[in-house]
Structures are given as C-alpha cells and as structure tokens.
Amino acid sequence: MDNLSGKTAVITGGASGIGRAFADRFAAAGMNIVIGDIEGPALEAALAELEATGASATGVVCDVSSEADMHALRWHAIDTHGAVHLVCLNAGVGGGNGRTETLTERDWAWTINVNVWGIIHGLTTFVGDLKAQDDGHVVITASVAGLTSYPSMGPYNMTKHAAVAMAETLFAELRDDGSNVGVSCLCPGLVLTNIFQSDRNRPEQLTNPALEQIPRSAEDEARLGAMIEIVASQAKQPSHVAELVHDAVVARQFWINTDEDFTPAIHARLDSIRDRTDPPAGENLLSIYD
C-alpha cells in the first residue's frame, strides 16, 4: 500500500496507547480513521483531538471479544467511507499475571477473549473484504512476548504467541492465493502505554478475587517501583512505533520490531530450538536491563 491518502484505516484499541499513535500517523498520511475501542470517554476524546487537526475520524465503542461488535465496526466503516483498506488489530490486554498454578480459568478467559478472539473476529470480519478488492493491509499487534516466554506471564505469553501464529498463517494463505493484501506482525518491546492498567477494562465476571487479596510485601512494592522506573526510562514512545508501522505498511514488510533490546533473547530462543537445548529463561521481562 504505497498510496494511503484517501483510503480508510480501521484501528481497534485506537483510543489510547499504540493504537492512538496509529490514528495520528495514518491520519497524517491522509487516511480516513475509524476507531473501535471499549472505552467510550477515551474514544470521544481521541476523535475530538483528531478532528481538531482536520483529520477525518469516526468510531464506535467496540468490545473486540464480541463478534457482533466487530461486525458493527465494519458496517460503520463501510457505511461511512465505502470501503476499508487498512485493518490494525491492535486491541489487547496485559492479562492475568502470576505463577501458572495461581491463575484461574477467569484469568485465561479474559486474556484469550481479547488477545486471541479479538484478532480472530477481526480477521473473519475484514479479510474477506480486503481479498475481494485485492487491495489492503492487515497489521496484527503481537509482542516480543510472542517471540520469547517469560515467567509469571503465562496468559500474555500464550496469547501473543498465538497472535504471531495467526499473522504468519494469514501471510502464508494470502501468498498462496496470489493476493495483493499485505500483512505485518508488530512485536513491540517496552512502549509507554497504559497496558499495565488493563484491569480497568476487565469484566466483573472474569475477575480473580484471590489474586487481588494476595498481600504485597515491602520487597514486592520495591520491585514494582523498580520495574516502573525501568519502563519509564527504557520504553519507546507510541509515536516511534506508529512510524515504524506506517513505513512497514507502505513497504509491505511483515516483521516489525520496535527496538533491538530483545534481539539477543529472541536469538537465544531460536538457538535452543535448533540445538534442542533447554529454553532460555529470563527472571522477568525487564531482566535484560539488569
């Protein structure tokens, strides 16, 4: 997609974080922006900010775990602009954190519903249209955690590995079909977003009261504070990620990595697969900065 001006981009999770930066960047490229986001007030604010810059921006409240909501997002985009050309399946949550044996079915269900079913619903809703017009691009937001695996992040790791697999599968299918539709798989490392506050959108029926009642020691609080400081000092700006994604869409580039900090960990995992050795294990996602 080397000519974006006048075309339409649909962005899930587009009211904040990386998705919000997508909206800014693709609006700057002359695209019509359609945002689907579960947070109504944030959506309204994002649309107002975009419109204030002269951008063509609209959106609907959308829970990506709902197939009906995703269909409504599609119809809104088509009714407004006639067609969709770029689909950014970006909505995601941090998921239940903790050792695997402490997590409940609710922790897994919440993370899978958003991070996996959200992408599945996006693909089944939009890819047929893109193939029919033989023009367009799909961006799937995965994570560096989809290329590596860290302790106490089981649901997030698993769902982001699934996101990578879905992106690779879609790419292979479109290539086999001789389609001109492109695919990119975004695997960001640390980015300054509010993903660590994902629980704000967690459905009541999928909460895990047991985890919430686990007391935090002074050591736990200190560790959390140190992690926040690392994120603040090392994380990339969403605008940096959006620029990389824009360039990848134009160049029809599949893999998008936001920085090189996690490259050694990715290579170590691939080496362990090739050599059939134990997988490398970091203390946590931020241990590379120790």
Active site residues: 156
The encoded tokens of residue 160 equal 């982001």
What is the C-alpha to C-alpha distance for residues 13 and 222, in angstroms, rounded to an integer?
31
DSSP alpha helix (H) spans, the chain: 17-28, 40-52, 67-81, 105-115, 117-133, 154-176, 209-212, 218-234, 238-251, 263-275
In terms of Cα–Cα distance, which of 156, 16, 149 is closest to 91?
16
Is residue 171 within 8 Å of 178, Cβ to Cβ? no
DSSP output for 62-101: --TT-HHHHHHHHHHHHHHHS---EEEE--------B-GG
Which neighbouring-strand residues pair with 33? 9, 57
